[in-house]
Structure formats: C-alpha cells, structure tokens
Amino acid sequence: MLSTSVKADTIVIPEFQQGSLGKQTQYFREQDNKLSLSQALEHFETSSLTRGSSNSISLGIDVTPVWMIFTVNNTSHSPTPYRLSVETPWIDYIDTWLIQDGKVAQHIAGGDGLPFESRPMQYRFYAFEHAFVSGETQVIMRVETKGPMALPIQFSSLEQAIHRDINSGYQYGALYGIMLALALYNLVLFVFIRQREYCLYGLYLLGFVLNSLSYTGQLHTIITYDFGVYFQDWLDIFLMITYSVAGLHFARSLLQTKEYAPGLDRFVLRTTLYIPFGMLIGFIFNQLFFSMVLAFLLNTCFVVLFIAMGVKALNAKKPFAVIFILSSVTAAICITISTLAVAGVLVPYNDYTFKAIEVGMAFEAILLASILARQFRVAQIDKLIAEKYARTDPLTELNNRRGFQELTEPLWQQIVYQKGDASLLLIDVDSFKDVNDTHGHSVGDEVLKAIAKVISESCRQGDISARWGGEEFIVFLPHTSRDSAITQAEVIREAIEKVEFLALELSLTLTASFGVAGSVANQFEDTPLTLARFEPMIKNADRALYIAKYSGKNQVRIVS
Ligand SMILES: Nc1nc2c(ncn2[C@@H]2O[C@H](COP(=O)(O)OP(=O)(O)OP(=O)(O)O)[C@@H](O)[C@H]2O)c(=O)[nH]1
C-alpha cells in the first residue's frame, strides 16, 4: 500500500477550470540512482521539498530528473475528466502515477523518448486525459530530459482544453500564415528578380517557422517516426542554427555592413561559420549538451548582432536603419519575455508570454518586409532614372540617338502601314566652333542648350526631336509631307536666328542650316515608303544639309 503524508497545495475541481500548476507542486531532484515510485514516495514524506514558486518550474539544461507531487480533490459526486499536459515538447521521458486510496490507479508514460504511437495522446506535448473520481488523487510525476528542464504543466477541464486547442490553432495559424506567406512571396521574388536579400529573407522566415513548429512540438505530430530519444532535440538545434545563420546573412546583405563596418561584418561571418561547425562536431560525437549551448549562444549572438548591425547602419546613415533597429529590438524584447517566462524568472509564464517570441518575430518579419518593399521601390525608381538617362542627352535633355530610334520606330511602322507621309529635318548650328573658340567650351554648352530648347519648343506636338551628335539635331515629323516639313524647318530656322543669349550676357546671333527629306503622297525617291526606307531618308536629309552648308549656311534645303 502506497501512502504519503506530504501535501502539496490541493487543486479543487471542478472549481479549478484551467491553469498552470507550477505553484501547486512540490518537487525534488533525483540524485545518483534512478528511484522507484515507492522510494520517491518515501522521499516525498521524509525529505525537504522545493515548492514551485512560479507558473512554470524551470531548472536549466542537462539537469538530473525531477520528481513532482500535487493533489487533486474532486468535490463533485461523479468522476470528472481533466487533461494534464506538459507544454514543452522536447521532454525525453515523463511518467505520471495517479494514486487513489493509496493505490496506483493509473501509470501514464510518455515523452519524446517513446515512439509517437505509444504516447498517451497523439499530441504535440506529453498529455493525457483522466476522469478524477470523487475525493483526493495524488499526482506524482517523474521527468527526465537532456533539453532545458522547463515544465509548464497545464491542467484543464476537457471543455477548456478543447477551447485552448482551438484558440491555439487559430493563433498559430495566423502567425505562421503571415510568416509563410511572406517567406513564399519573397522566394518567388528571388526567383524572378535574382536579388539575394529576398532569398535569404525567405529562408530566414521559413527556418524560423520550422524551428517554431519543432520547438512547439507541432512538427512532430506530422513527422512521427521514432528516430530515437534525441531526434527532436537535435532537430531543434539544427533549425535554431539554420534560421539564425540565414537571418544574420540576410541582415548583412540588406544593410551592406561590409561597406562601412567591415570588422562587424567579418565577426558576423565568422560567427555563422564557427558556431554551426562546432555544432556539427557536437553532432558527430553525439554531444547534445555542447551543441545545445552553442545553439543558444548563436541565438543570443543573433539578437545582439542584429541590434549592433542596425546601430552601425544608423551611424553610417543607411536608409531603413531606424526600422531595422525597431524591428530587431522588438524581437529581442519578445524573445527575452518568452525565455524568462519559460525559465520562470521575473516574467509570469502564460500563453501570451510563451508565444511572445512568435509575435515578436512576426512583427519583425513584417517590418523587414516593409524595408525590402521600400528598397524594391527605390531600386525601381533608380532603374527608371537610369533608363531615362540611357535615352536622353544629358546636356540638352533632348532624346539621344537611342531614344530617337525607339520613339520613331513604331511611328514609322504605323505610317508605312497606313501609307501616310513622314519627313525629317537635320539641323546643324553654323560656325559653332567659333563660339567655343571665342567664349569657351562651357559657354558653348549653354548655347547648345538654348538652341535645343528653341528646337523642341518650335516643334509641334507629336514631332520627335533629338540631339544627333555635337552641334547637330534631328527632328522627325510624322504624318508630314516634305513641303510641310520645309515650312516647319523655316519656322525653326527663324526661331534660332532670333535667339538672344541674354542670360549668358552675350550679344551673339546664331544661325543653323537645315537639310530636309520627306515623302510626298507616300512616295520617297520615287518609291512608296517601306520599313527599310527610314535610313535612306536620314541620308537624304544629310545630303540636303551638306548642300545648305555649302550654299552659304542659314538656309533650308532639300535634295532636288
Ligand atoms: N561646347 C560644346 N562644343 C561642342 C560639343 N559637341 C561638339 N562641339 C563643338 O562643335 C564644334 C563643331 O565644329 P565644326 O564641325 O568645325 O563645325 P562648325 O564650326 O559648326 O562649322 P560648320 O558646321 O561648317 O558651320 C567643334 O568645335 C566641337 O568641339 C559640345 O557638347 N559642347
């Protein structure tokens, strides 16, 4: 007959509906040899026990097994089903004995040391349900693990347990949904844009979600193979390291720390090499504790280095540094809250403090995504500017040759298919060398700008003007016959002649010569316009310009 006079704080049901049992338990640590239940009961009776002081009992990593006791008193007249769960899914072995009237009514063995199918509930934690009969039931538990000995014991009526499960499902669904959507979106962006930040960010988020799925036991309800006692512990370590490494490389790449903080950048790089390497050595020699310490070290470095990189980026006046710091400090605070809650220090353990880490990471993920989105926008604007300048002459801001060709090509095609007319003007400033020689090159530049302005302002809407090279300009006149083009050229010639370069404080009169080529009734050089006739038309205008120059300049000519 088993008995113990030791009374832990009694849990009275059905009044007690749901909560953590840290404060209602008393415990002691097993010393050298594994105790039997009766030896443990004797110890409970005869030795001093530690009373749980917070919602979650937490004793550190790689500690000796713990024996716990608490009492449930069912004051109702019928058996009342309750669920007990230990919400840290990495515990290797948990044994629970329910003692009624001095006899073991039930023994429930579980933990990730047992194959998934043999566990009391096919659940992400060690959990079981039991109908507590009227009167007192003593609950004795023995817990053994190589991982962190954090024991948030949850005790709830079945109704509350199901309610909690549903709530928890929604909460995790929302958190993981946000993070997975962001991860996949960024990986898709990487496939199409080929910018490594997107890939690293996607991997970082995926790594975190996987790590969290494993750390909260959810992954192991899917992967149910029995790989042995430490499978889950090693997987947690591996995933912690993967997401930390991806996260740190993402931060390096996003903030480009190499440019302005080479020392810190090297340190981050080495951290992401040496710690995983050490973990690998630990894995090869099956040193779980050693690898676990390295994983926690990397996780701590991760938080500190994120903030340090943000501060360096801020000092270097990098855009987005403030948002980066805000996101990493928030994540750091949330990680600290969860860690302290699980460790039972300062922060009370409850569902919110346990999940703070995920909330912090989701917040960080959204802020980092906003940085990437803004960076994308800046890159787009830069690209548009670069594209514009690839088509624009920087001095006169008219089209350059490339811009001219790109704009005229579709118009020319349209005119050819519609059997319409089109003309070209080639304009060359007369004796421009004298301007340079007399007033200097920079004045020459200003003069060219002024003439370009006159040309573009004298053009009709739809005409396309461009700088053809040096002091030579070209104008394409769509839907304009050669005769109308001559008239238009005269307008521009007169406008140039009238330009006063007052802003340059120069009393200067400049003229320009014009070569005109164009079609009349869709005929150019006695043949209808075709796609291939564009180049010959330019050559024709060039010959006309030559004639204008050698006929005394400041005139409009065609090849007759
Ligand atoms: N300031 C300035 N000068 C330029 C630029 N591009 C070409 N030039 C000058 O334009 C002048 C062209 O001289 P030339 O080809 O002899 O022609 P020109 O003096 O206008 O004589 P004609 O064409 O026969 O009337 C050269 O002195 C070039 O250096 C430019 O972007 N800025």
The ranges of the chain annotated as CATH 2.60.40.2380 are: 10-161
With H, G, I as helix, E, B as strand and everything else as coil, classify residue 227: coil
Residue 4, pLDDT score: 44
Question: Is the pTM for the entire model greater than 0.90?
Answer: no
Q: Which ligand 1 atom lies nearest to the CA of residue 432? A: 20
Which amino acid, one-letter code, is at 424? L
Distance 501 CA to ligand 1 centre (A): 18
DSSP run (H or E) holding 139: strand 135-144
- Would you say domain 401-558 falls under CATH 3.30.70.270? yes
Which residues surround ligand 1 with Cβ inside 6 Å? 395, 428-433, 436, 441, 444-445, 448, 470-471, 549, 553
Plot region of 431 (φ>0 → left; ψ -120 to 50 → alpha; else → beta): left
Q: What are phi and psi of 368, to 5 degrees?
A: -65, -35
Q: Which ligand 1 atom lies nearest to the CA of residue 433? A: 19
Distance 550 CA to ligand 1 centre (A): 16
Exposure b/e, 205-223, CB count within 10 A at least 16 = b: bbbbbbbbbbbbbbbbeee
Residue 503, pLDDT score: 62
Dihedral sign, Cα of residue 414, residue 417, residue 418, residue 421: positive
CA distance 439 to 429: 16
Which residue's CA is the nearest one to ligand 1's atom 29?
433
Distance 115 CA to ligand 1 centre (A): 88
Q: What are phi and psi of 557, to 5 degrees?
A: -135, 155
CATH ID of 162-388, from 1.10.287, 1.10.10, 1.20.1070, 1.25.40: 1.20.1070
Residue 229, pLDDT score: 74
The ranges of the chain annotated as CATH 3.30.70.270 are: 401-558
What are the tens digits of pLDDT across the range 325-382?
999 899 889 988 887 877 667 787 777 888 888 888 888 888 988 888 888 888 889 9
- Would you say domain 10-161 falls under CATH 2.60.40.2380? yes
To the nearest whole number, what is the mean pLDDT of the chain?
A: 90
With H, G, I as helix, E, B as strand and everything else as coil, classify residue 131: strand
Residues of the chain with pLDDT under 50: 1-6
Distance 64 CA to ligand 1 centre (A): 91
For 406, residues 6+ apart whose C-beta sits below 8 A from its C-beta are: 391
DSSP run (H or E) holding 330: helix 321-343
DSSP run (H or E) holding 473: strand 472-478
DSSP run (H or E) holding 99: strand 93-100
The ranges of the chain annotated as CATH 1.20.1070 are: 162-388
Q: Which ligand 1 atom lies nearest to the CA of residue 436? A: 1
Which residue's CA is the nearest one to ligand 1's atom 31?
470
CA distance 357 to 323: 19
Q: Residues 360, 335: contact at Cβ < 8 Å?
A: yes
Residue 290, pLDDT score: 92
